[in-house]
Structure 1
């Protein structure tokens, strides 16, 4: 990226692990100063219960030659988000990039249970994590972003707009609504930012080799293909770095406003910007899922990565 984001200030909300962590690292590698927020630190863990921390994300940023700071924030607590905005305002005077990767709700998903059988408490918690936290964050942080021309908001989600146009069978009502809502949040933010020269998009990675997914399959990033005998369609998976690189390229694009209001996938962005994954491939997971996995065809990523 040739330090194309030098002088830019970014906030990655929910940058503890997975796609958000990788995006924080790649934005910093490209020169941006990155604020990383989340609930899990070396001293405290969130309800997710995993070992990754926001402090660890900043260590990865520094290892990549970038600069950033970790701030523990529960984005469902408006007073904490307000304090975060005040701190960024005092230290930077504005914000150029807001990546909202807040979630942490996978543990509440009871697969394939109808709403009347699914835990109501768990359903409502997913809505809070996937929608309420995003709106609270936008309320307090967008006033900083509109101060600077060319501001960019990225709402992370799961699935393209086309894929989420119908119910995600096998998930649950609340999970589906929480993820599909990102498309509409980005669309609304795009209209509200338009008079200020800002851009808002939703971005979805493909089948992500997140820390949790690798643990689920009992593999590492180095030997992830060992999971294929048990889950053949995992052949189209991508590293978190892939979506991180594509979002950094989007942020550095002076004409990113042409995408405002759209939902973009890592695979599509990779084609636009000529981005490769860490293994030199370009996975196009959502096209693969429609044309191969959901079509009942044998696993074969030829032509999809």
Structure 2
């Protein structure tokens, strides 16, 4: 194995790689040498309803610049035919090989109601969030897993927010993020006899493009926002999440972790990766010191 490029020759699909954690994972898989299919709805050929500037082509170019091969494919993962066509393409172009599937589709920020209890929320919007954030993962796994099962190896990663049973503040968001953890556990149980691992993973306080915009800063001057929110000092970049996933994908003993809900902070001591600036943020540790009295303990991993 090339230790500088441990995923050289590996094929990955990162569903929902336009921005945020998905983009960070795609780029770091590329840095480890993988060929990465980068999918999402935001393309240079047309924006999604998110209305943001990031595109799948931007991400694919970053994958290639990092040392991998990025392939952008515009896909709406709620559309079964589009997903089926995508996996048929991967099978054809890669001789049936798929080593890593990352279900990172989200796009739910405009749909989350943080202000009202469930009985005062718009039901159609809440159900749409669940379809966007959970059904898309199910559809993608359904069509991707046969490639992994046929080869008797692979890794499925479900990206979530939080890896404990602690309530996440509003019902539909909580259901979405906890559901994909359960989906990882269910896939792990069914895939274990076939040598395929499945895990869920959460970042800490993720410094995504949208979060940076919220605070009115960029990655270059992000610390200026700490005056607005002191907790932001303990945030992490999408690269940190990406390096965690790349480490899992390169671990020959990853089956030992199958079925678990993991975190960036829980994995860096084992794998030794750092964030983009060389630091090792640990939001769970910070929570225990600074936030637990106010908000309660995070709880044990699911």
Q: TM-score range by the shorter chain?
A: over 0.9
1:18 corresponds to which of 20, 24, 38: 20
Distance in 2, matches of 1:54 and 1:149, equals: 30
Q: What residue is the counterpart of 1:8 in the other structure?
A: 10
1:3, distance to aligned residue in structure 2 (A) = 0.6
Distance in 2, matches of 1:225 and 1:148, equals: 46
Distance in 2, matches of 1:37 and 1:278, equals: 23
Written as runs of structure 1 = structure 2, the 5 A alignment for 1:3-82 is 3-82=5-84
Q: What residue is the counterpart of 2:299 in the other structure?
A: none
1:167, distance to aligned residue in structure 2 (A) = 1.9
Aligned partners of 2:181 and 2:261 also within 8 Å: yes
1:99, distance to aligned residue in structure 2 (A) = 0.5
Q: What residue is the counterpart of 1:167 in the other structure?
A: 167
Distance in 1, matches of 2:280 and 2:166, equals: 26
What per-residue deviation string (whole Å, max 9, x for no partner) do you get for residues 217-263 of structure 1? 01111111101111011111001111111111110011111000001
Distance in 2, matches of 1:294 and 1:102, equals: 30
Aligned partners of 1:12 and 1:36 also within 8 Å: yes
Q: What residue is the counterpart of 1:153 in the other structure?
A: 156
Distance in 1, matches of 2:235 and 2:121, equals: 29
The residue matched to 2:150 in structure 1 has which SS? coil
1:290, distance to aligned residue in structure 2 (A) = 4.0
TM-score (norm 1): 0.93
2:122 corresponds to which of 111, 114, 119: 119
TM-score (norm 2): 0.94
What per-residue deviation string (whole Å, max 9, x for no partner) do you get for residues 125-170 of structure 1? 110011111111111110011122330000000001x2xx13223x
Q: What residue is the counterpart of 2:300 in the other structure?
A: none
Distance in 2, matches of 1:292 and 1:118, equals: 31
Distance in 2, matches of 1:290 and 1:174, equals: 26
Aligned partners of 1:190 and 1:200 also within 8 Å: yes
Kindly report structure 1 stretches of 4+ aligned residues shifted beyond 3 Å.
Answer: none
Q: What residue is the counterpart of 1:142 in the other structure?
A: 145
Aligned partners of 1:96 and 1:148 also within 8 Å: no
Aligned partners of 2:108 and 2:132 also within 8 Å: yes
Distance in 1, matches of 2:99 and 2:178, equals: 25
- Would you say 1:107 and 2:110 are equivalent positions? yes
1:178 corresponds to which of 158, 176, 179: 176
The residue matched to 2:63 in structure 1 has which SS? helix
1:128 corresponds to which of 131, 138, 141: 131
Distance in 2, matches of 1:167 and 1:285, equals: 17
1:57, distance to aligned residue in structure 2 (A) = 0.2
Distance in 2, matches of 1:50 and 1:42, equals: 11
Aligned partners of 2:62 and 2:70 also within 8 Å: no
Aligned length: 292
1:54, distance to aligned residue in structure 2 (A) = 0.3
1:120, distance to aligned residue in structure 2 (A) = 1.5
For structure 2, list consecutive stretches of 5 or more residues without a partner in the other structure.
296-302
Aligned partners of 2:59 and 2:70 also within 8 Å: no
Aligned partners of 2:32 and 2:67 also within 8 Å: no
Distance in 2, matches of 1:53 and 1:142, equals: 26
Distance in 2, matches of 1:110 and 1:98, equals: 30
Distance in 2, matches of 1:185 and 1:225, equals: 36
What per-residue deviation string (whole Å, max 9, x for no partner) do you get for residues 9-62 of structure 1? 100000000111011011111111110110010021112111100000011112
1:195, distance to aligned residue in structure 2 (A) = 0.9
